Amino acid sequence: MDFPPPLDSLHIAGYTERIMNLILIAAFIVIAVLFAVYRMRGDRAPRTAPPSAAPASRADIMRLIADEKFVEAIKRYRQITGLGLYEAKQAVDRMRLSSAWEAPPAAAADAADDEVLALVRANKLLDAVKLYQSKYGVDLTAAKQAIDKLAFGR
Protein backbone atom coordinates (compact mmCIF):
# COMPACT_ATOMS: atom_id res chain seq x y z
CA MET A 1 0.00 0.00 0.00
CA ASP A 2 1.36 3.34 -1.06
CA PHE A 3 1.17 6.28 1.30
CA PRO A 4 0.84 9.83 0.00
CA PRO A 5 4.10 11.70 -0.02
CA PRO A 6 4.71 13.92 2.98
CA LEU A 7 3.72 17.57 2.58
CA ASP A 8 6.69 19.70 1.94
CA SER A 9 7.01 23.40 2.70
CA LEU A 10 6.42 24.43 -0.94
CA HIS A 11 3.13 22.55 -1.07
CA ILE A 12 1.87 24.25 2.14
CA ALA A 13 2.99 27.67 0.87
CA GLY A 14 0.77 27.22 -2.22
CA TYR A 15 -2.31 26.64 -0.06
CA THR A 16 -1.47 29.58 2.16
CA GLU A 17 -1.14 31.84 -0.87
CA ARG A 18 -4.55 30.75 -2.18
CA ILE A 19 -6.18 31.33 1.20
CA MET A 20 -4.63 34.80 1.43
CA ASN A 21 -5.92 35.63 -2.07
CA LEU A 22 -9.43 34.53 -1.10
CA ILE A 23 -9.29 36.66 2.07
CA LEU A 24 -8.19 39.71 0.06
CA ILE A 25 -10.98 39.21 -2.49
CA ALA A 26 -13.57 38.84 0.30
CA ALA A 27 -12.28 42.00 2.02
CA PHE A 28 -12.48 43.91 -1.25
CA ILE A 29 -16.09 42.78 -1.78
CA VAL A 30 -17.06 43.79 1.78
CA ILE A 31 -15.49 47.23 1.33
CA ALA A 32 -17.27 47.73 -2.01
CA VAL A 33 -20.64 46.81 -0.48
CA LEU A 34 -20.12 49.13 2.50
CA PHE A 35 -19.14 51.98 0.18
CA ALA A 36 -22.27 51.45 -1.93
CA VAL A 37 -24.48 51.46 1.17
CA TYR A 38 -22.76 54.61 2.45
CA ARG A 39 -23.36 56.40 -0.86
CA MET A 40 -27.04 55.45 -0.89
CA ARG A 41 -27.51 56.72 2.67
CA GLY A 42 -25.54 59.89 1.95
CA ASP A 43 -28.66 61.60 0.51
CA ARG A 44 -30.21 61.71 3.98
CA ALA A 45 -27.32 63.47 5.68
CA PRO A 46 -28.29 66.93 6.94
CA ARG A 47 -26.83 69.83 5.06
CA THR A 48 -24.78 72.41 6.84
CA ALA A 49 -26.52 75.41 5.28
CA PRO A 50 -29.93 74.50 3.87
CA PRO A 51 -31.00 76.69 1.00
CA SER A 52 -34.03 78.80 1.69
CA ALA A 53 -37.07 78.99 -0.51
CA ALA A 54 -37.39 81.86 -2.95
CA PRO A 55 -40.00 84.50 -1.99
CA ALA A 56 -42.51 83.39 -4.64
CA SER A 57 -42.02 79.77 -3.66
CA ARG A 58 -42.35 80.68 0.01
CA ALA A 59 -45.69 82.27 -0.80
CA ASP A 60 -46.77 79.02 -2.48
CA ILE A 61 -45.76 77.05 0.59
CA MET A 62 -47.53 79.49 2.91
CA ARG A 63 -50.66 79.22 0.77
CA LEU A 64 -50.54 75.42 1.04
CA ILE A 65 -50.07 75.72 4.81
CA ALA A 66 -53.02 78.12 5.04
CA ASP A 67 -55.13 75.60 3.12
CA GLU A 68 -53.93 72.94 5.60
CA LYS A 69 -52.27 70.93 2.82
CA PHE A 70 -49.19 70.13 4.86
CA VAL A 71 -48.05 67.11 2.84
CA GLU A 72 -48.12 69.15 -0.39
CA ALA A 73 -46.28 71.98 1.37
CA ILE A 74 -43.54 69.57 2.47
CA LYS A 75 -43.29 68.13 -1.04
CA ARG A 76 -43.04 71.63 -2.53
CA TYR A 77 -40.38 72.64 0.01
CA ARG A 78 -38.36 69.54 -0.87
CA GLN A 79 -38.62 70.35 -4.59
CA ILE A 80 -37.36 73.87 -4.02
CA THR A 81 -34.56 73.20 -1.54
CA GLY A 82 -33.55 69.61 -2.24
CA LEU A 83 -33.65 68.75 1.47
CA GLY A 84 -34.66 65.38 2.84
CA LEU A 85 -38.11 64.56 4.17
CA TYR A 86 -37.27 65.07 7.84
CA GLU A 87 -35.57 68.44 7.31
CA ALA A 88 -38.36 69.66 5.02
CA LYS A 89 -41.04 68.66 7.53
CA GLN A 90 -39.21 70.52 10.29
CA ALA A 91 -38.89 73.61 8.10
CA VAL A 92 -42.58 73.57 7.14
CA ASP A 93 -43.55 73.10 10.79
CA ARG A 94 -41.38 76.09 11.73
CA MET A 95 -43.01 78.13 8.96
CA ARG A 96 -46.43 77.11 10.21
CA LEU A 97 -45.68 78.00 13.81
CA SER A 98 -43.45 81.03 13.29
CA SER A 99 -44.42 84.64 13.61
CA ALA A 100 -43.96 84.88 9.84
CA TRP A 101 -47.26 83.04 9.61
CA GLU A 102 -49.77 85.84 9.50
CA ALA A 103 -53.51 85.63 9.21
CA PRO A 104 -54.82 85.79 5.65
CA PRO A 105 -55.70 89.32 4.48
CA ALA A 106 -59.42 88.59 4.70
CA ALA A 107 -58.91 87.73 8.35
CA ALA A 108 -57.29 91.03 9.27
CA ALA A 109 -58.54 92.64 12.45
CA ASP A 110 -59.90 95.61 10.52
CA ALA A 111 -62.14 93.30 8.50
CA ALA A 112 -63.63 91.45 11.46
CA ASP A 113 -67.31 90.83 11.09
CA ASP A 114 -70.11 91.94 13.40
CA GLU A 115 -70.29 88.63 15.28
CA VAL A 116 -66.66 88.83 16.39
CA LEU A 117 -66.97 92.53 17.22
CA ALA A 118 -70.09 91.86 19.30
CA LEU A 119 -68.24 89.23 21.34
CA VAL A 120 -65.31 91.60 21.86
CA ARG A 121 -67.65 94.41 22.98
CA ALA A 122 -69.34 91.99 25.40
CA ASN A 123 -65.86 91.19 26.79
CA LYS A 124 -66.18 87.49 25.77
CA LEU A 125 -62.67 87.39 24.42
CA LEU A 126 -62.21 83.63 24.60
CA ASP A 127 -65.36 83.08 22.55
CA ALA A 128 -64.22 85.78 20.14
CA VAL A 129 -60.85 84.06 19.68
CA LYS A 130 -62.52 80.68 19.06
CA LEU A 131 -64.98 82.18 16.55
CA TYR A 132 -62.23 84.13 14.79
CA GLN A 133 -60.06 81.01 14.61
CA SER A 134 -62.81 78.83 13.15
CA LYS A 135 -64.12 81.52 10.79
CA TYR A 136 -60.80 82.48 9.22
CA GLY A 137 -58.86 79.23 9.60
CA VAL A 138 -55.93 80.74 11.48
CA ASP A 139 -53.96 79.27 14.34
CA LEU A 140 -54.64 80.16 17.96
CA THR A 141 -51.80 82.67 18.23
CA ALA A 142 -52.88 84.65 15.16
CA ALA A 143 -56.51 84.67 16.32
CA LYS A 144 -55.54 85.88 19.81
CA GLN A 145 -53.35 88.62 18.36
CA ALA A 146 -56.18 89.79 16.10
CA ILE A 147 -58.70 89.83 18.99
CA ASP A 148 -56.19 91.64 21.23
CA LYS A 149 -55.78 94.23 18.50
CA LEU A 150 -59.54 94.69 18.34
CA ALA A 151 -60.03 94.75 22.08
CA PHE A 152 -56.99 96.63 23.31
CA GLY A 153 -55.53 98.25 20.20
CA ARG A 154 -52.24 96.34 20.55
At residue 27, the pLDDT reads 93
At residue 32, the pLDDT reads 92
- In 10 A of CB 73, how many CB atoms? 25
Quick: pLDDT tens for 110-153: 445 788 888 888 888 899 889 888 887 788 888 888 888 877 76
Q: Is residue 123 in some structural domain?
A: yes
Q: Is residue 138 in some structural domain?
A: yes
Note the pTM of the prediction, 2 decimals.
0.34
93 & 112 share domain:
no
32 & 68 share domain:
no
Quick: pLDDT tens for 1-12: 566 666 665 566
Which range of residues forms the domain containing residue 87? 55-97
Binning pLDDT at 50, 70 and 90, where does residue 87 land? confident
- Cα distances (angstroms) measured from residue 99 to each of 3, 16, 20, 47, 57: 91, 71, 65, 25, 18
